[in-house]
Structure 1
Amino acid sequence: MITLLEKLVDGADGAYASKQDLRNLEHAMFSWSERKDAYQAVENNEKAIIDRAMILIQSSKTAPDGAMSPGTLNRCRRDMTLALRAYALGMLLQDEEMLKDRFLYWQKNVLQAMGLHHYQGVKFVLESICLELPEAQANLFKPYFKLGQELVMSN
C-alpha cells in the first residue's frame, strides 16, 4: 500500500490520479478488513505458528541428522519469527516492494553469506500458517511467501 500510494502521488504530480491508480487503491481499500483480520490472526497465533514450524522443520528431510543444538534452534526460531512478522506486514500493506526492500534483500544476503543457498525455513512457516489459520486468511499470505522463495533462492 505504501508503494501504491507513492505511485499514486508521483503519477498525480500536477494532475489527477489515473483511473488505473484509483482502481488499484480502491481494490487495496476493499480488501483492507480481510488483510487486517489475517494480520491480527497471525499476531495472536504467532507462538503456535512458530512452534508448529519448528516441529515441521525438525521432522523434515531438510533438517540435519540428529538433534539441532539449542543455539541453532533458538536462531531458527528467531529468524522464523522475524520472517513471519515481515511477511505479515507485507501482506497487511499489500506491498511486495516494501517486503523486498525491508526484508527479503537482507535475508537473501544473510543466507548467501552463511552459505545457505537452499534454505527452506520460511516454507515451514507458510505451511504452519496454512495449518493454524482459516484457509481464506492463509491464502492471503501465499503470494508473499512465493515472492520470498523466488527472490531468496535466486542467484
Structure 2
Amino acid sequence: MLSQLKRLSLDADGRYATEAELAFLKSYGQTVRQRISGYEKIRDAEDTLMDDAEAQLTEVDPQVFHHGTDDFTNTCRRDRKNTLRYVATAMLFNDLDRLRDGLLLWQSTIVRAVKDEHASTLTWQEMPETLRTHLSAEEVDLMMPALHLTQALLH
C-alpha cells in the first residue's frame, strides 16, 4: 500500500489518477477493517502465538531449535516474533515490497549463514495453522500473501 501510494504519487504528478491507478485503493478500502482486526489480534496475542507455534514446531520436530547440544529456542523465538511483526505490518498496509526488502532478504542471508534453514522452513510452514486458531478465515486469507513470501524467502 505505502509503496503503491508512493508510485501513484510519482506517476500521477500533475494530473488526475486514472480509474485503473485507483483500483488498489478501492480494493484496500474494502478490506481495511479485516486488516486492522487481524493486526490487532496478532499484536494482542503475540506471546500466545509464539507459545502455540513453539509447541506445534517441537511436536513436529523435538530438536527443531537445537544444533548439536546448543539450544537456540530463545533466539528462534525472538526472530519468529520479529518476523511475525513485519508480516502482520505487511498485511496491514498490503505492502509486500517493504517486507521483502526491509527484512526478508537480509534475514534469508542470516538463516543461510547460520545454517538454520530447517527451523525457518518449518516455522513458516506451520505458522498459517497457528494463526488459524486466532484469526478469522478472512484475516488469515489477508495474511497469506505475506506468509507465502516469507516461506519462499526463508526456506
Equivalent-residue separation in structure 1 for 2:62 and 2:73 (angstroms):
14
Residues 104 and 148 in structure 1, CA contact (< 8 A), matched pair in contact too:
yes
Alpha-carbon deviation of 1:64? Answer: 4.3
Whether contact under 8 Å (1:83, 1:122) holds in the other structure is: no
Tell whether 2:145 aligns with 1:146. Answer: no
2:56–2:126 CA contact under 8 A, matched in 1: yes
- CA gap of 1:2–1:62, structure 2 versus 1, over 3 A, is farther
Mapped partners of 2:81, 2:149: distance in 1: 18
Q: Which amino acid is the alignment partner of residue 144 of structure 1?
A: A
Structure 2 residue aligned with 1:39: 39
Letter of the 1:45 counterpart: A
Q: Call closer, same or farther: CA 1:23–1:53 in 2, change over 3 Å.
A: same
Change (3 A) 1:145 1:99: same
Q: Could you tell me how far 1:71 is from its partner in structure 2?
A: 4.8
Alpha-carbon distance in 1 for matches of 2:65, 2:74:
18
What is the rounded CA distance, in whole Å, between the counterparts of 1:41 and 1:148 in structure 2?
20
Contact 2:35 2:92 in 1 (8 A): yes
Superposed CA RMSD in Å reads: 2.4
Using structure 2 for the length normalisation, give the TM-score: 0.87
State how 1:130-141 maps to structure 2 within 5 Å. Answer: 130-141=132-143
Displacement of 1:70 after TM fit? 8.3
Residues 49 and 18 (structure 1 numbering): CA distance in 2 closer, same or farther, change over 3 Å? same
- Distance in 2 separating the partners of 1:72 and 1:41: 27
Q: Which residue of 2 aligns with 1:104?
A: 104
Distance 1:28 1:69 in 2: 48
Distance 1:59 1:28, change over 3 A: same
Q: TM-score, normalised by structure 1?
A: 0.87
Counterpart Cα distance in 1 of 2:61 and 2:51? 18
- 1:27 corresponds in structure 2 to 27
Partner of 2:127: 125
Which segments of 5 or more consecutive residues in structure 1 lack a partner in the other structure? none
- Distance across 2 between alignment mates of 1:105 and 1:65: 22
Q: Which residue of 2 aligns with 1:89?
A: 89
Secondary structure of the residue aligned to 1:92 is helix
Q: Report the AA paired with residue 128 of structure 1.
A: T
| Post-superposition offset of 1:55 | 0.4
Gaps of 5+ in 2: none
1:52 — aligned with what? 52
Higher mean alpha-carbon deviation, 113-122 vs 76-85, is at 113-122
Matched residue pairs, number? 153
**Cα distance 1:123–1:62, how it changes in 2: closer, same or farther (>3 A)?**
farther
